[in-house]
Amino acid sequence: MNGINENAGWGVMITEHWARVSAELRSEIGENNHKSWIEPLECVSLQGGVVEFRAPSRFVGDWVKRNYQDQIFQRLRSDNPAIARIEFNVGTQPRKAPATPAARPADAPALRDNNLQGAPLDGKFNFDNFVVGKPNELAHAAARRVADGGDVTFNPLFLYGGVGLGKTHLMHAIAWELHEKRPDLQVLYLSAEQFMYRFVQALRDRQIMDFKNLFRSVDVLMVDDVQFIAGKDSTQEEFFHTFNALVDQNKQIVISADRAPGEIKELEDRISSRMQWGLVVDLHPTDYELRLGILQQKAALFAQTYGPVRIGDGVIEFLAHRITTNVRVLEGALQRLFAFSSLIGQEITMDMVQDCLSDILRTSDRRVTVEEIQRKVAEHFNIRLSDMLGPKRTRTIARPRQIAMYLAKELTSRSLPEIGRRFGGRDHTTILHGVRKVEEMRGSDSQMAEDIDLLRRLLQS
């Protein structure tokens, strides 16, 4: 290597080299991700073609390995081909204090000039802090698109999904991003409840013209939890007019609700059909991987509030496995553990989890059974339960059976052999085949994807 002694030469330079790569990564992955995952890494040495990093905890190390290893490696290597590998170890030596205290995202709202006349925005609800997985990837992509502030390509964007799946988070993220990218735009975010409140107030104060002018002068209108105005006739009426006026002016509208437009009872038909002119996107219930990602992300955020806390083996995985319905509850559970752990100055152990979270764990204990799944699926497809379990192989029976197998794998903690036993004593390979088949088909068969979503919702409610 041009006579450069690897240790003396690159050994000194590797830290500089890393500083440069780290800066490049910041623009690539965003400020918050960079703060949470890259900044805590210490680049220790380059020896024998191996760059060694030290991470402050196993948890940070694992996360970086899983998510950023390739990026880091490629970048380092493109400058110095002698680098063959990178390694992450957990640090035992005290780290230098950072030169500037890390900015807390929680401070963000106060720092931003909030000239919105809408609801206050949560500084933590930004895109950097939104973890993307299969269940929310389309919603995220659509939200990003709106946040670009370019041409209006779909209007409205209608986001729907169960409680705590990230609708509000995405809407705030759009607002933050637009503030930054397009400060010239008037962005108004508020809940449907606030919309109604203002409308009623304007009626009372005889300022309905002001109300109309305000709402018709914005460039981007975001109304959260629109199901709230269902059945409230004059509010719906006014909302409809506002909506149409803005669409006519080609202004972007973003709406959220807890269910699809057509499923909101007492929402006028003309409104619900108008909602479907744009892009209607479903936030699906989280899957295990997404919950893991969210927990890791939240742990990094909580560490900024509570200080670094050690998390014992298996804790994160356990939470992701057990608290499945609502991200808010998942987050609350983790926060409670952080608060407790920092109070008593001990790492978060499985024992602590059982003690601190007994209430949450008890309520999430109501798990779906394989039998319930079989019953609901049979009902939905109008087949007999006995056929579900029996040997018939015609498609009208076999397909629902495979969907039930798939849901059993997804929604229960039963192993494949256990599921097989409950499907009339089938072999685990048959179950695996069924699960794979459905996984494969649901991507291309939208009817099947819809059936599955509906069943999942029914089973989890």
Selected range binding ligand ADP among 20-28, 99-107, 156-164, 438-446, rule: CB under 6 A: 156-164
Q: Is 312 in the site for ligand ADP (CB under 6 A)?
A: no
Distance in Å from the first CA to the final CA of the chain: 64
Q: Is 325 in the site for ligand ADP (CB under 6 A)?
A: no
Asked if 330 contacts 294 with a C-beta cutoff of 8 angstroms, the reply is yes
Calpha distance 170→185 (Å, rounded): 18
The correct pick among 105, 118, 123, 166 for binding ligand ADP (CB under 6 A) is 166
| DSSP-derived 3-state class of residue 387 | helix
**ω before 156 within 30° of 0 (cis)?**
yes
CB nearer to ligand ADP: pick between 246 and 323: 323
Size of the site for Mg ion (CB under 5 A): 2
Calpha distance 340→395 (Å, rounded): 54
CB nearer to Mg ion: pick between 6 and 193: 193
**100-104: long-range contacts (C-beta < 8 A, 24 or more apart)?**
102/35, 102/39, 102/304, 103/35, 104/304, 104/305
Selected range binding Mg ion among 78-86, 168-176, 235-243, 369-377, rule: CB under 5 A: 168-176
The correct pick among 32, 155, 227, 297 for binding ligand ADP (CB under 6 A) is 297
Residues 329-388 that bind ligand ADP (CB under 6 A): 331
Q: Is 199 in the site for ligand ADP (CB under 6 A)?
A: no
CB nearer to ligand ADP: pick between 169 and 456: 169
Residues 288-317 that bind Mg ion (CB under 5 A): none
Q: Is 324 in the site for ligand ADP (CB under 6 A)?
A: no
Q: Is 457 in the site for ligand ADP (CB under 6 A)?
A: no
- The 8-class DSSP code of residue 151 comes to S
The correct pick among 32, 33, 57, 136 for binding ligand ADP (CB under 6 A) is 136
CB nearer to ligand ADP: pick between 37 and 130: 130
| Residue with the CB atom nearest ligand ADP in the bound state | 166
Calpha distance 200→257 (Å, rounded): 21
Q: Is 198 in the site for ligand ADP (CB under 6 A)?
A: no
| DSSP-derived 3-state class of residue 101 | coil
Calpha distance 187→221 (Å, rounded): 6
What's the min distance (Å) between Cβ of 334 and ligand ADP?
11
What's the min distance (Å) between Cβ of 321 and Mg ion?
25
CB nearer to ligand ADP: pick between 14 and 357: 357
Selected range binding ligand ADP among 11-19, 75-83, 129-137, 348-356, rule: CB under 6 A: 129-137
Structure tokens at 51: 């760059």
- C-alpha to C-alpha distances, 219 to 22, 52, 135, 148, 348, nearest whole angstrom: 37, 50, 29, 13, 47
The correct pick among 23, 141, 163, 245 for binding ligand ADP (CB under 6 A) is 163
The correct pick among 327, 403, 407, 419 for binding ligand ADP (CB under 6 A) is 327
Calpha distance 160→453 (Å, rounded): 13
Residue 187, phi then psi, degrees to nearest 5 = -110, 125
Q: Is 285 in the site for ligand ADP (CB under 6 A)?
A: no
Residue 412: CB partners within 8 Å, gap ≥ 6?
A: 367, 368, 369, 370, 373, 419
Calpha distance 240→273 (Å, rounded): 11
| Residue with the CB atom nearest Mg ion in the bound state | 168
Calpha distance 433→358 (Å, rounded): 37
Q: Is 165 in the site for ligand ADP (CB under 6 A)?
A: yes
The correct pick among 25, 294, 319, 404 for binding ligand ADP (CB under 6 A) is 294
**Which of Mg ion, ligand ADP, none does residue 61 bind (CB under 5 to 8 Å by kind)?**
none
The correct pick among 36, 168, 374, 402 for binding Mg ion (CB under 5 A) is 168
Q: Is 130 in the site for ligand ADP (CB under 6 A)?
A: yes
Structure tokens at 10: 């690159």
What's the min distance (Å) between Cβ of 446 and ligand ADP?
23
Residues 86-125 that bind ligand ADP (CB under 6 A): 125
The correct pick among 17, 35, 75, 169 for binding ligand ADP (CB under 6 A) is 169
Q: Is 168 in the site for ligand ADP (CB under 6 A)?
A: yes
Q: Is 328 in the site for ligand ADP (CB under 6 A)?
A: yes
CB nearer to Mg ion: pick between 17 and 167: 167
Q: Is 40 in the site for ligand ADP (CB under 6 A)?
A: no
Calpha distance 157→224 (Å, rounded): 12
- C-alpha to C-alpha distances, 278 to 21, 98, 255, 394, nearest whole angstrom: 41, 47, 10, 39
- The 8-class DSSP code of residue 232 comes to -
HSE-up of residue 449 (Cα within 13 Å, Cβ side):
11
The contact set with ligand ADP (CB under 6 A) reads: 125, 129-131, 136, 161, 163-169, 294, 297, 327-328, 331
